[in-house]
Amino acid sequence: MIYPAARILAIETSCDETAAAVLENGRVLLSSVVASQIDLHQQYGGVFPEVASRQHIITIYDVVEQALQQAYLSLDNIDAIAVTRGPGLAGSLVVGMNMAKGIALGKNLPLIGVNHLEGHIYSSWVYSSEVPNPPPIPEFPLIALLVSGGHTEINLMGGHLHYKRLGGTLDDAAGEAFDKVARLLGLPYPGGPSIQKAAMNGNPNAYNFPRANLDGSLNFSFSGLKTSVLRMVRELEKSRSRLPVEDLAASFQQAVVDVLFKKTIQAARQHKVKNIIVAGGVSANQLLRDTFLGQTNFNIFIPPFKYCTDNAAMIAAAGYFRFVNNLIDPLDIDVLPNWPLS
């Protein structure tokens, strides 16, 4: 199907990244600016919501202006404004939403509220205008594994914007487990990259941490795994002067990746689907990427690193498909901090 040409300016402020991007025709990225607040939050060991929203206020104008400049465009060349409506931190979402509404009102442009999780999935459509050959487009039906700091779920997509939730975490999200276990091991926030780095020098078979099977369902549970790491840390602290952080990190990472991979493949087999998208911040994990890309029975779509963690390019991609399906929002929409995908 041929979709109409359109340029989307997107804004993302759901958590601790202030981001804006310009995307053409749902795929071609003209610019993407991400101002990370990690340095600000590191001292708290996690995201401090009020600090996050106030930093978005300071940064948002410059970030949007830079996104337009880097695309060599002005607002006169934009067809619609997409913005993350939820889920996320209310005070952070409001900043991006109000910026988007201001632009939409001032320039008489359509406003499109985008689900952040939908954005993560659509990051697989995005490619830079600078690459010589466009990567293949994910084809439906597909299984989307979404693994971020706040969410872990498997969805079946029969077509654009259609999600059937097949399973999800019953407790912690995968990224949350990385962040909590990193803290246990004395590694800095955000935990995912810290654990990955420590694990590079560790033995993934040093400790046999649990892989929750949950009666063969497509649900996940990571709290038992986290507790198991905690118990092991307490035990080791009694007998050793230095924790084997590398082995603990590698064994934990292996346990998370094993269960994410196994259940996603199970979902694809059960629904006779050939195509799999892996998206969300945890999809930046090298072991997870290598594990999915290392098998040949399914077509795997994992975005390049820079589009795995929070960014606005993915919001623009999802926004484009909403725009071409006439899913335009009125200017009085509120943010939805707990907005589910399906």
Q: Under rule CB under 6 A, how many of the chain's residues touch ligand KG4?
A: 20
Q: Which one of ligand KG4, Zn ion, none interacts with residue 192, CB within 5 to 8 A by kind?
A: ligand KG4
Q: Which stretch binds ligand KG4 (CB under 6 A): 28-36, 95-103, 147-155, 222-230?
A: 147-155
Residues 163-192 that bind ligand KG4 (CB under 6 A): 175-176, 178-179, 190-192
Which residues lie near Zn ion (CB under 5 A)? 148, 310
Nearer to ligand KG4, 88 or 110 (CB): 88
104 or 279, CB closer to ligand KG4? 279
Tokens of 203: 């033995």
**For residue 116, what are its two tokens?**
């952040």
> Which DSSP helix (H) or strand (E) runs through 184?
helix 174-184
Contacts (CB under 6 A) with ligand KG4, residues 305-324: 309-310
Query: What is the rounded distance in angstroms from the CA atom of residue 59 to the CA atom of residue 64?
Result: 9
Answer with the entry of Zn ion, ligand KG4, none that 150 interacts with (C-beta below 5 to 8 A by kind). Answer: ligand KG4
Query: Cβ distance 143 to 277 under 8 Å?
Result: yes
Residues near 2 by Cβ (< 8 Å), separated by ≥ 6?
A: none
Per CB under 6 A, the list member of 59, 84, 148, 219 interacting with ligand KG4 is 148
Closest CB to ligand KG4 among residues 244, 280: 280
Instruction: Check if the beta carbon of residue 189 is closer than 8 Å to that of residue 175.
Output: no
Is position 26 an interface residue for ligand KG4 (rule: CB under 6 A)? no
Residue 175 interacts with which of ligand KG4, Zn ion, none, CB < 5 to 8 Å by class:
ligand KG4
Residues that bind ligand KG4 (CB under 6 A): 15, 148-150, 175-176, 178-179, 190-193, 196, 280-282, 284-285, 309-310
